Structure 1
């Protein structure tokens, strides 16, 4: 009788332990979010080779960089910046001219910064004029750009695999990512995210240590990045859009959109966060397309 009681006690302990461990295992499984895109509007096809978009909440407008003639590395002087509203109407098609191949763009303290092959163009937003051209020594193909909360500008050279930093109008090499060909870039508080054009890797870089790791794969031809509620959206120049779930590390990114058959690229995307609207510049499509971001 005592022996049976002992066996019963051991059995109960094991059973309780198994249930406890099972609950812990279930709790550790990440929840997969399903993102849904619904098309809202598109602009007229007057934005010649539109490459990047950036929403300015204070002014309620969207800046669009237009490369103009190709190739996008040609110093032909026919690049421009346009302004559209949040309904997709072109307000000023030739707001700023005199650039060659403007690409990534962002603003800080009424100044708009734009990459242009081997220089950063600094535009005065109030006057709509170029204030300064900042040369980047040894640059090959400057591409995407983002700005930290303190005004430091980070930008990629996608053909030379480098990330540069602009502070107080002075350029310095921030990180050499040999073989990565970083294109899209997103600056966060403690880290910087880039998407590789050649490898399709979605990479996080610690600001202090500069150690980097891959958090998602499968985004070949990576071009732009925006942050959303549950993770990130990343575009590919050929015409795809992917979702990277914050709760799942090292996974293949989830494809949400594919417009390759329509011959519509998906370049340096932007977002209207308070309205959950994604903005896609279509490069050779010569228009910006907006989608409502939803979750399921």
Structure 2
């Protein structure tokens, strides 16, 4: 039995009372260490591939032109470590109508997926550290600014401030009429009228990625090396690789196959886990 499975199983037993049968993450595969500081993974259900945001370069927030988007198969084989080049330090991604929207420090890169090329850049005036991306059911693109403490909305190519007043906003998720934000260890929910409620708090403060499972259930990753299952106001730790110094940045998720894809940042891989 591998170490990851043991950690997940032990963590799950601690919250068995709150969750009934605890969830687990069972490792399926891990890519070769050929990716370049992978920060984010996005599952493309239509193309059946994973897009990986490679920061590369020396620093996560440096404009050095070293960033790229990689492409990985669902079997863990790297199709192209640098499928699309010409980025600075890419992070979160969102997919809509054949376009891949990528947060790139202070701008949004728009990639034509069919062509595998950058179609345009959308400047976001005042943005400092753009991080996670989500797209709502109407096609509006949202991106968090971790340092600027704002969430921007991009409608018809034009950005505007959507939400503000955070500690360290990162992961964002548009789900139905609700909008979710990970903010320094807490999961916040904003209703259609922007009414704010705290769903759960007390997670590692480096909260990074969020994916919807079903109903009021979510998977949350933390950059430092922790992954949680959130159900209502309860949380269960599924993975903890902090002592091994293995990061778990902005995760991707295949809802049909129930597979969580974890980018390991400095380890230069993506690991796949089946959610049990």
TM-score by length of 2: 0.90
Which residue of 1 is the match for residue 13 of structure 2? none
**Matching of residue 158 in structure 1 with residue 164 in structure 2:** no
Distance 1:211 1:93, change over 3 A: same
Distance 1:31 1:76, change over 3 A: closer
Count of residue pairs brought into register by the alignment:
258
C-alpha contact (below 8 Å) 1:263/1:285 kept by paired residues: no
Distance 1:47 1:57, change over 3 A: same
Which residue among 198, 218, 229 is the counterpart of 2:202?
218
Compare 36-45 and 210-219 and name the one that shifted more. Answer: 210-219
Which residue of 1 is the match for residue 224 of structure 2? 238
- CA RMSD, Structure 1 to Structure 2 (Å): 1.4
C-alpha contact (below 8 Å) 1:33/1:245 kept by paired residues: no
Q: What is the Cα deviation at residue 255 of structure 1?
A: 1.2
**Matching of residue 89 in structure 1 with residue 77 in structure 2:** yes
Which residue among 110, 130, 137 is the counterpart of 1:122?
110
Which residue of 1 is the match for residue 9 of structure 2? none
| Correspondence 1:70-219 to 2 at 5 A | 70-178=58-166, 180-196=167-183, 198=184, 200-207=185-192, 209-219=193-203
Separation in 2, partners of 1:267, 1:153: 21
Separation in 2, partners of 1:261, 1:54: 26
Q: What is the Cα deviation at residue 190 of structure 1?
A: 1.1
Deviating beyond 4 angstroms after TM superposition, the runs of 4 or more aligned structure 1 residues are 29-33
**Matching of residue 227 in structure 1 with residue 215 in structure 2:** no
Which residue of 2 is the match for residue 291 of structure 1? 273
Which residue of 2 is the match for residue 259 of structure 1? 241
**Matching of residue 57 in structure 1 with residue 34 in structure 2:** no
Select the structure of larger CA radius of gyration: 1
Separation in 1, partners of 2:164, 2:20: 33
C-alpha contact (below 8 Å) 1:163/1:177 kept by paired residues: no
Q: What is the Cα deviation at residue 284 of structure 1?
A: 0.7
Instruction: Give SS of 2:256's match.
Output: helix
